[in-house]
């Protein structure tokens, strides 16, 4: 098997360690799961909606987006994928993927050995729990977006008079040709009623850390 080095999955590992530190052995195991690296040019499909899932992959460099095809043939972007983001583990259970993934710039992905991941993850409780957290965080992000869409629809339904109550976002988001500048991030968060608690970046509770430590000490 080709050796990819010990740092290919660093973007994913850094993301998982927001919740729980990973021992060096877990990091080596994760990097050892890489089957190959694939490079895609900008504006190309990594996978199309309806295709059979080829397993789990991690974005290593570049950026992409998940999307759905609309009845008129257009794309509805669902979310964006940056280095460290991965496809969902439960996609392994599906016969076909229910959305497409499209590159927005030159993008490199690492494809993961599905059989080893399923068969060996039980021996790596820190990784298991961190991946659970990562999946829950993604669900929380989607709930937050659904809430935002609902508020926007309500705003449109109530008519123009409501717009007078909306903060002057033009002062908080400055467009200069193709550059977007945010002069005061805290003010923008306040105006948008942003609460980052849904991202769950506080790390694992002590009870979880203790449970994992106990599990690792068991023979």
Please report whether residue 79 resides in a domain. yes
With a CB cutoff of 8 Å and minimum separation 6, the contacts of 21 are 126
Expressed as residue numbers, the domain containing 44 is 33-123
Residue 41 is part of a domain; what is its CATH number?
2.60.120.10
3-class DSSP state of 59: strand
- Does the pLDDT value for residue 48 go beyond 50? yes
Both 136 and 207 in one domain: the answer is: yes
Both 142 and 94 in one domain: the answer is: no
Provide the pLDDT confidence category of residue 142 given band limits of 50, 70 and 90: confident
Final residue of a structural domain among 102, 123, 144: 123
Please report whether residue 209 resides in a domain. yes
Please report whether residue 40 resides in a domain. yes
Mean pLDDT of 39-67: 91
Please report whether residue 204 resides in a domain. yes
Q: Has this prediction a pTM greater than 0.75?
A: no
Please report whether residue 5 resides in a domain. no
Q: Whose CA is closest to 131, among 212, 35, 39?
A: 212
Which of the pair, 25 or 214, is modelled with greater confidence?
25
Q: How many domains does the chain have?
A: 2
Distance CA 83, CA 153 (A): 32
58-88 pLDDT, tens digit per residue, is 999 999 999 998 888 888 888 899 999 998 8
With a CB cutoff of 8 Å and minimum separation 6, the contacts of 16 are 22, 127, 130, 131, 133, 134
DSSP 8-state symbol, 9: T
Distance CA 95, CA 50 (A): 9
Distance CA 159, CA 103 (A): 37
Q: Whose CA is closest to 137, among 213, 86, 207?
A: 86
Both 175 and 111 in one domain: the answer is: no
Final residue of a structural domain among 123, 149, 184: 123
Both 142 and 213 in one domain: the answer is: yes
Residue 84: count of CB within 10 angstroms of its CB: 18
Q: What are phi and psi of 131, to 5 degrees?
A: -70, -35
């Amino acid at each position: 098997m080709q050796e990819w080095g010990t740092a290919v999955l660093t973007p994913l590992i850094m993301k998982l360690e927001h919740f729980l530190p990973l021992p060096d052995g877990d990091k080596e195991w994760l990097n050892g799961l890489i089957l190959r690296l694939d490079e895609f040019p900008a504006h190309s499909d990594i996978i199309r909606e309806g295709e059979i899932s080829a397993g789990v992959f991690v974005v290593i460099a570049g950026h992409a987006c998940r999307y759905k095809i609309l009845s008129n043939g257009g794309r509805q972007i669902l979310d964006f994928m940056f280095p460290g983001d991965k496809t969902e583990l439960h996609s392994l259970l599906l016969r076909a993927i229910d959305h497409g993934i499209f590159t927005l710039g030159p993008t490199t992905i690492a494809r993961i050995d599905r059989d080893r991941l399923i068969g060996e993850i039980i021996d790596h409780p820190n990784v298991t729990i961190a991946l659970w957290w990562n999946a829950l965080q993604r669900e929380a992000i989607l709930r937050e977006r659904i809430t935002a869409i609902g508020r926007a629809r309500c705003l449109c339904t109530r008519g123009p008079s409501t717009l007078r109550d909306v903060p002057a976002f033009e002062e908080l988001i400055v467009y200069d040709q193709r550059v977007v500048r945010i002069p005061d991030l805290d003010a923008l968060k306040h105006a948008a009623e942003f609460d980052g608690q849904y991202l769950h970046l506080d790390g694992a509770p002590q009870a979880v850390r203790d449970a994992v430590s106990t599990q690792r000490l068991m023979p």
